[in-house]
Structure 1
């Protein structure tokens, strides 16, 4: 069964991001800002199905001009990355993958640093929330059965590698729901432990592109 689902982010960060989107959107609409001065963004990866130009043209903000032929999802993700670098205050925000999905492992690394939680929530003061919403709306449909099977294999791998309390995903209303910590509100799995980090690395290939960080 194929169902449209929101764009994926690291589980413990995305839930917080989604929860604050309405509030942040209102703040942005009312002119709220973080006072960060826009600076030149780094070049962003070439879109799928295109060839990198020999000399990329530039937009006024210094980012590479968007290449032709990319998907609406990649286009939206590119705009979000540019916003996060220029307005959001995260110059090291990673390029999107050629699939259009972000490398949420790198985003999680940035967000885990003191004072940088906003890297998973649309930037400081939600300055990039409109772009984040556009990304979520443009994400391609997923085969929910394949997503479930991928997350199930990942959960089993995590347990096999020492994280014994890692819960299986579930299916609800035809949509795959991630597993992971059985008590997200009061975590019982130490994600900073060496065992967890080693298991996460050993099992990362079990997750389909775009599901990385979901559980």
Structure 2
């Protein structure tokens, strides 16, 4: 709860209190469709066929709840509604049918001038309760696979010029994301051309839902 690629590299720990990170690593991260931004709150979903990544053919019009994940999906819908109504992002993208946010679209929104601050949990963290609830509702991940995915991504980032990008670690059976060595006082510039290019190059290393964590 990856800003095009500007804030995806920042861990949720930089935006949310420590207990939220514990929820994050036990779960994952995840939005789609910057178009049709009123779809969740105002209009019935369009009957579109889901694509291979779990999203629909039309942006912003999820067609159905994912089987077995309705609680997570509903929690993400509540988070998105908060971000639109109170968080300062009326066009915040819909969640995928998987329940995860599409961080490429969230990142694109956050990359607009003056729109990066608050992209994770709304202005002044007004949507933090909804963010925490969505994290708590997310189906548990295979932490070893998450760790291996984030490790491959971190190595790729360093290989592509972001030399200070840190590795994830395993702690208490959970995969803790890597990234900026000091999220509270970032030393990696996510606006730099080198960082953006590395993010694009290494995006495929991350499993669905992990792109907003590291």
TM-score of the two chains, using structure 2 as the length reference: 0.68
CA contact (8 A) 1:66 1:75 kept: no
Within-5 A mapping of 1:4-153 = 10=8, 12=10, 14-19=12-17, 42-44=38-40, 52-53=46-47, 67=64, 71-112=70-111, 113-114=113-114, 117-121=117-121, 123-153=122-152
In the TM superposition, what whole-angstrom CA distance separates every residue of 1:9-57 from its partner, at most 9, and x where no partner exists?
A: 94536224322999xxxxxxxxxxxxxxxxx961149xxxxx9448xxx
Which residues of structure 1 form unaligned runs of 5+?
A: 1-6, 23-39, 46-50, 55-62
Cα RMSD, aligned residues only = 3.4
Cα distance change on mapping 1:214 and 1:67 into 2, 3 Å: closer
Task: Measure the CA separation in 2 of the matches of 1:207 and 1:117.
Answer: 24
Q: Contact 2:72–2:137 (CA<8 Å) still a contact in 1?
A: yes
How far did 1:182 drift? 2.8
Name the count of aligned residue pairs. Answer: 178
More relative contact order, 1 or 2 (CA 8 Å, 6+ apart): 2
Q: Which runs of 5+ in 2 are unaligned?
A: 21-35, 49-59
Distance 1:42-1:15 versus aligned 2 partners, 3 A rule:
same
CA–CA distance in 1 between the matches of 2:166 and 2:153?
A: 10
Larger Rg: 1
> Can you list the C-alpha shifts for 1:69-99, whole angstroms capped at 9, x where unaligned?
6621011111221222233331110111221
Q: Residue 47 of structure 2 contacts residue 63 of structure 2 at CA under 8 Å; is this kept in 1?
A: no
Deviation by residue 1:148-206 (Cα, 9 ceiling, x = unmatched): 00001101111221222322211111111112223434433222221111010010010
Contact 2:10–2:180 (CA under 8 A) maintained in structure 1: no
